[in-house]
Amino acid sequence: MAVAREATPVESAEDVKQADLDSEDLLQIYRNMLITRGIEERGHILYRQGKIPGSFYTGRGNEGASVGVATAMQAMDVGTPIQRDMGVHVTRGTEPWRIFAQYMGRSDGLAAGKDGNVHMADIRLGLIAMVSHLPALMPVAVGAALAFQIRREPRVAVAWSGDGAMARGDAHEAMNLAGVRKLPVVFIVDNNQYAYSTPNRLEFACDHLADRAAAYGFEGVVVDGCDVLTVYREAHAAIEKARAGGGPTLLELVTLRMEGHAVHDDAFYVPREMLEHWKEKDPIERHRRWLKESGVLGEAVDDEITVEVKKLLNEAMKRAEESPLPDAADLDTGVYADPEELDTPHHR
Amino acid sequence: MAIKTYLQAISDGLREEMRRDQRVFLIGEDIGVYGGAFKVTQGFQQEFGEDRVIDSPLSETAITGACTGAALMGMRPVCEMQFSDFVSCAFDQLVTVAAKQHYRVGTPVPIVVRLPSGGGFSGGPFHSQNPEGFFAHCPGLKIACPATPADAKGLILSAIRDPNPVLYFEHKHLYRRIKGEVPDGDTAVEFGKARVHQEGSDLSIITYGAMVYTAEEAAKAAAEQDGTSVEIIDLRTITPWDREAVLASVAKTSKVIVLHEDTHTSGFGAEIAATIAEEAFETLDAPVMRITAPDTPVPFSPPLEKAYLPQPGDVLAGIERLAAY
Ligand SMILES: Cc1ncc(C[n+]2csc(CCOP(=O)(O)OP(=O)(O)O)c2C)c(N)n1
């Protein structure tokens, strides 16, 4: 029995107005989605060239979900994005060249070579770096929200999880504590229907993961994650509700993981027809179409944006490749923090 | 200077730091209205309010993870595990998240986890453990195990001010049994500086936490018996630990017992013994001896638990054996 609300799609210009977006915002969303996909496509190239040690993960198909949520966050808000959420890093302003440097284990990567792939975040942009153990950052986001509540700050934390990771206890403890204390936190589930090779039906027995919200005393909403504008509208509503003291919301953003779990995985277990079906729903194509139909994006501007993104990313790749590999002497630096580090803005 | 119990000293330290620093808040199970299972935070909610003394659901993962998140937002969280045993439910948040965050991405995580630990009152396998060894193996965490009221206060102050995740083990058997002088005011005790609990010349006992008193009783008996002079080194913190103080004592006495209440294999004593073997082999006149709990869970029934916990008699027997070596 489904209990969560199913979000109606954003269709008309009126809907968009309600979502509080002007044409510049709409184009910025488009640009950010292109940058997001462009980074990951170039990641594949670097990987094939043998320049990325370890594994390589992408969020293809999740660009609308990640960019939509991040666009709805204010600069003062914070978040804990996961492995499919490159769009969050991009939207919050992480420089692409540092992401390429991160992929390649260079010293200008966000983890300076101490950690790899999407295990990164710039705290100055309000993002907290994920760990492999999923969804261990959900309770951490809840703690950020607790800090905001204690200090009566109008800030919101956004916690991400995958559909598979929602089976772990961290998710339950985080949502329960947030519900009990009515914390300013929004929970996002990137439901791309697979956890590695495991489909939704072997992960959970309720109709929707968003149904669980009711058990924690807050609202759950199922959203088409391929529709960036609907994602934005629902995330915006949930974030502002949390900011106003209305407590948490759980948004389940449904997409399909359009590539393997990581680069080594050809996802043979995902039915071909399913992939074809979801390819039609591609979030970038969909937004582009909508922009054109709504007269926000003309051919010339589209070309201009595409060229600009390409240039940005090509230069970023070049700059990243110039970044040195870390010095082996740095192996044992940074295990412990020094007291003066607590004086950085995020720790005052 | 006033005479305080170990428990009062912890409580005073927490209260004074909360008065001094608005960023400090407490979260844990039953710590607010009830004042904590051991009453360490009794009266705190009245003084500091429900926002700074938070009664949480039974959720060690959420408690610890939330501390990390709040710390990253500039707070100075102190959480309480109702018993140190339950920290196993927060292992991931400490070892995977908090301990590695600074190394990975350079963000300090200044949190304190308070851990009422140790046996001696039939708490059984799940309310008596000394789980510090698991965490001493994890780079990025710091660990304090105070033995005296003065250190209990001084180390809680330092723990809260430290920019790293700190596990603060408070031994339940010391809470009300141990009284001592606690200097007034801001008396933070530095991590990694051992304390000479008593000076001696024939043999050194390296220990921490409640075993300091077990060592003291054994040393007293040894002195009365045949005048053996035992030096007791109280490590105070095991991450970092004071190698220099240990090596200096070993250089002086040439015979050493490493004593702890945690179980034997891979206990922290193994690290101390190995370091002495590596660094002070030439100064030794006898093999390093470890006296610890055996490799079993902590048993419930009094005769079993007594056999489990290192007793003064066990330590005295060790002293006699080493002295005769
Ligand atoms: C606690 C934990 N167990 C196992 C893994 C290995 N693992 C990495 S991602 C993954 C699947 C995650 O699925 P989901 O949460 O749906 O996110 P997705 O990768 O599909 O976006 C698994 C099993 C892990 N990272 N963490």
Is the residue at B189 inside a domain? Answer: no
Q: Annotated active-site positions of B, please? A: 127
**Mean pLDDT of all residues belonging to chain B:** 98
Do B298 and B214 fall within a single domain?
yes
Domain count, chain B: 2
Do B200 and B119 fall within a single domain?
no
Average pLDDT over residues B216-224: 98
**Structure confidence at residue A342 as a pLDDT band (50, 70, 90):** confident
A181 CB neighbours in chain B (<8 A) are 54
**Ligand 1 within 6 A of CB of A190:** yes
Q: Give the model confidence (pLDDT) of B62-86 as tens digits.
A: 999 999 999 999 999 999 999 999 9
Percent of chain A beyond pLDDT 70?
97
Nearest-by-Cβ selection for B93 from A139, A149, A346: A139
**Mean pLDDT of all residues belonging to chain A:** 96
- The neighbouring-strand residues paired with A219 are A249
Q: Do B104 and A115 touch (CB under 8 A)?
A: yes
The whole-number pLDDT of residue B290 equals: 98
Is the residue at B187 inside a domain? Answer: no
* pLDDT at A348 > cutoff 70: no
If you measure CA to CA, which chain A residue comes closest to B61?
A170
Token reading at B162: 């430290």
Is the residue at B213 inside a domain? Answer: yes
Do B113 and B244 fall within a single domain?
no
Picking from B182, B217, B247, the residue at the C-terminal end of a domain is B182
Interface test with B, best of A89, A149, A168, A177 (most B CBs within 10 A): A177
Kindly give, in sequence order, each residue whose CB lies less than 8 Å from that of residue A338, ignoring residues fewer than 6 positions away: B163
Nearest-by-Cβ selection for B65 from A111, A115, A136: A136
Do B73 and B155 fall within a single domain?
yes
Q: Do A131 and B68 touch (CB under 8 A)?
A: no
| ipTM entry | 0.96
Picking from B138, B156, B182, the residue at the C-terminal end of a domain is B182
Atom 21 in ligand 1: residue holding the nearest Cα = A162
> For A333-347, B55-69, B253-267, B292-306, which range has the lowest pLDDT when averaged over its residues?
A333-347
Q: Do B107 and A157 touch (CB under 8 A)?
A: no
* pLDDT at B89 > cutoff 70: yes
Do B172 and B231 fall within a single domain?
no
Q: Do A336 and B51 touch (CB under 8 A)?
A: no
Atom 12 in ligand 1: residue holding the nearest Cα = A195
Average pLDDT over residues A12-30: 84
Average pLDDT over residues A161-181: 98
Average pLDDT over residues A127-142: 98
Q: How far is B206 from chain A (nearest CA, A)?
A: 25
Report the atom number in ligand 1 closest to the C-alpha of A196: 11
Any idea where the domains of chain A sit in the sequence? 10-320
Q: Give the model confidence (pLDDT) of B12-51 as tens digits.
A: 999 999 999 999 999 999 999 999 999 999 999 999 999 9
* pLDDT at A345 > cutoff 70: no
**Structure confidence at residue A301 as a pLDDT band (50, 70, 90):** very high
Kindly give, in sequence order, each residue whose CB lies less than 8 Å from that of residue B241, ignoring residues fewer than 6 positions away: B192, B194, B235, B271, B272
Do B201 and B309 fall within a single domain?
yes
* pLDDT at A13 > cutoff 80: no
Is the residue at B188 inside a domain? Answer: no
Do B159 and B229 fall within a single domain?
no
Do B156 and B27 fall within a single domain?
yes
Q: Return d(Cα A297, Cα A29) in angstroms, integer.
A: 12
The whole-number pLDDT of residue B206 equals: 98
Do B116 and B262 fall within a single domain?
no
- Residues of the domain holding B213: 195-323
Angle at A219 between CA A213 and CA A221, to 5 degrees: 90
Q: What is the CATH number of the domain that holds B287?
A: 3.40.50.920
Q: Where are the beta strands (DSSP E) in chain B?
A: 2-5, 24-28, 53-55, 76-80, 112-117, 142-144, 166-171, 179-182, 195-198, 203-207, 230-234, 237-239, 256-263, 289-293
If you measure CA to CA, which chain A residue comes closest to B98?
A140
Average pLDDT over residues A236-252: 98
The whole-number pLDDT of residue A346 equals: 63
* pLDDT at B300 > cutoff 90: yes
Q: Give the model confidence (pLDDT) of B143-190 as tens digits.
A: 999 999 999 999 999 999 999 999 999 999 999 999 999 999 889 999
Q: Do A136 and B108 touch (CB under 8 A)?
A: no
Number of H helices, E strands in chain B: 12, 14
Q: Return d(Cα B21, Cα B78) in angstroms, integer.
A: 12
**Ligand 1 within 6 A of CB of A134:** yes
The whole-number pLDDT of residue A280 equals: 97
Do B161 and B276 fall within a single domain?
no
The whole-number pLDDT of residue A16 equals: 72
Token reading at A76: 């003062």
The whole-number pLDDT of residue A347 equals: 55
Picking from B129, B148, B182, the residue at the C-terminal end of a domain is B182
**From residue B287, how far is each of B199, B204, B227, B280, B325 by CA, in Å?**
21, 12, 22, 11, 9
Best of A66, A84, A196 to mutate for ligand 1, by most ligand atoms within 8 A of CB? A196
Residues 132..171 of A with a Cβ closer than 8 Å to B: which? 132-133, 136-151, 157, 169-170
Q: Return d(Cα A11, Cα A294) in angstroms, integer.
A: 10
The whole-number pLDDT of residue A14 equals: 73
Q: Which CATH architecture has domain A10-320?
A: 3-Layer(aba) Sandwich (3.40)
**Ligand 1 within 6 A of CB of A84:** yes
Residue of B300, B304, B303, B240 lying closest to B272 (CA atoms): B240
Asked if the C-beta of A26 comes within 8 angstroms of chain B's C-beta atoms, the answer is: no
Q: Return d(Cα A150, Cα A282) in angstroms, integer.
A: 41
Average pLDDT over residues A14-34: 88
The whole-number pLDDT of residue B1 equals: 82
The whole-number pLDDT of residue A15 equals: 73
Do B69 and B150 fall within a single domain?
yes
Using alpha carbons only, how large is chain B's radius of gyration in Å?
Answer: 19
Residue of A88, A74, A66 lying closest to A243 (CA atoms): A74
Token reading at A59: 């969020």
Q: Do B77 and A341 touch (CB under 8 A)?
A: no
Do B127 and B175 fall within a single domain?
yes
